[in-house]
Structure 1
Amino acid sequence: MNPTGRRVLVTGASRGLGRAVALAFAANGDRVAVHYGSRAAEARATLDALPGTGHTLVAGDLADPAEAARVAGAAATALGGLDVLVNNAAVNTRHPLAETPYEEWVRAWQQHVSVNLLATAHLSHRAARLMIDQGTGGRIVNIGSRGAQRGEPDHPAYGATKAAVHALGQSLAVSLAPYGIAVASVAPGFFATERVAPRLAGPEGAAIRGQSPFGRVGTPEEVAEAVLWLASPAAEWASGTILDLNGASHLRP
């Protein structure tokens, strides 16, 4: 796998962390397929912001297994192959058990499992098979969460599916190593994006920042730099890792 000029698919890259990851790879000299579900204008803004040439847009509803396969195939066709997959796309809707009607609870779980877990599994299958056929190795980096370890009382399906993503990544790290494909996950804590800006600016902002002894939240760019390193040739020996990125706000034993 070449250290630069790689072919990279980043899912959920229309804004937030996905955009930061796409920018980091493009700045590294890689060519990026920017995936989006429904935010076409924002995805186009991400594409237009990428340095370099040869980048592309790929749309698709990853909750549909056929669409997930099509997204991987379309990215590989547009880029001429695939060297790196970053599984970033996810949903995270509030559904605390005591306040959520059963029908709404079921819908939340089905949506989280379909996008956060199954889409990650399906895309990993398609990307890994492409990498195996190419015979040049590759990298898969999954975006997990601190919530997989410490619990998410208001977002239990999110925490559970991210824990499953961590476990999936470790299973694939073992099975894909003989093909030169390294698989790792990052587990970010709270970091600033457009989606959470109102919370950080509101009454709970100080408490959120106080979760870390640094007295702040993370940035998408900090997470993106970790993803970029895990996808690098130098990080092969980190395959199977779950890298905590939470500013010491949650420490595993």
Structure 2
Amino acid sequence: MLVTGASRGVGRAVAAAFAAHGDRVAIHHRDSADLAASLRAALPGEGHVVVRADLADPAAVAAMVDAAAEALGGLDVLVNNAGQAYPHPITGVSYAEWQELWARTLAVNLTGPANVTYCAVRHMLGRPPGSPPARVINVGSRGAYRGEPGQPAYGAAKAGLHAMGQSLAVALAPYRIGVATVAPGYVQEDETNAAYKVPRGAEQATQSPFGRVARPEEIAAAVLWLADPAAEWASGAVLDLNGASHLR
């Protein structure tokens, strides 16, 4: 299985959960080679591999997915976890900055996952007869529904990712490929991703009636279940994982 953005945060927890389940994992990163290597060394089992690509580069995406499939002997699960948010409030940036940040955000959070999925599905379609069903799991966001005024392209990209997952769930079901999405709210920081998060922990925790934010392992547990052969009927679903902080 291939996890994008696996060197830190939710992606790291997802990789650990699948490895503990006995899967071999391709750990994707863009520029976190040391973190990716430390994760590979810490995972239980053997045969894990580190792969690199800038998801905004279509050629690099194709080469990365092919490398993962070759190292693992095929692909049966893809987790589109990689993402990045760039602040760009409409009243706080120039027109040139607005355009550049929309393009960058969509490339990483929507077009990139779409390209990874296209390439991964090519390997899933070639699975031997009798193989378990394949899965594509997207990591979306609560922001797709409640709005992201400070980073509107991120909310739009995640909404697009949710919609892409539902479209592909219909398109790929005849090939025994299920597609589902999780939509987390805020997730707890750790030493691997603290530099990438806004330092508003106390305020974030008050948004849920549980008085806390999610642990990465909680998101990983849901992804692991959605990838299970028994979860086929969840294909097309978008699973909210926000501790009742946003209801729809």
Identify the residue that residue 5 of structure 1 maps to in structure 2.
none
Identify the residue that residue 41 of structure 1 maps to in structure 2.
34
Which 4+ runs in 1 deviate beyond 4 A? 196-200
2-structure distance, mates of 1:55, 1:97 = 43
Identify the residue that residue 134 of structure 1 maps to in structure 2.
127
Matched residue type, 1:162: K
Identify the residue that residue 185 of structure 1 maps to in structure 2.
181
Aligned CA RMSD, in angstroms, stands at 1.4
Corresponding residue pairs, total: 243
Identify the residue that residue 18 of structure 1 maps to in structure 2.
11
SS in 2 for 1:73: helix
TM-score by length of 1: 0.93
Matched residue type, 1:146: R
- Runs of 5+ consecutive residues of structure 1 not aligned to the other structure: 1-7
Q: Which of 215, 220, 238 lines up with 2:234 in the alignment?
A: 238
CA contact (8 A) 1:17 1:193 kept: no
Matched residue type, 1:83: D
Shift of 1:110: 0.7
CA contact (8 A) 1:83 1:138 kept: yes
CA contact (8 A) 1:69 1:126 kept: yes
CA contact (8 A) 1:11 1:18 kept: yes
Shift of 1:198: 9.2
CA contact (8 A) 2:78 2:120 kept: yes
TM-score by length of 2: 0.95
Q: Which of 59, 68, 72 lines up with 2:65 in the alignment?
A: 72
More divergent stretch after superposition (86-95 vs 190-199): 190-199
SS in 1 for 2:126: helix
The answer to whether the aligner puts 1:250 opposite 2:243 as a matched pair is: no
Shift of 1:84: 0.2
Q: Percent identity?
A: 58
1-structure distance, mates of 2:201, 2:164 = 33
1-structure distance, mates of 2:33, 2:99 = 29
CA contact (8 A) 2:189 2:197 kept: no
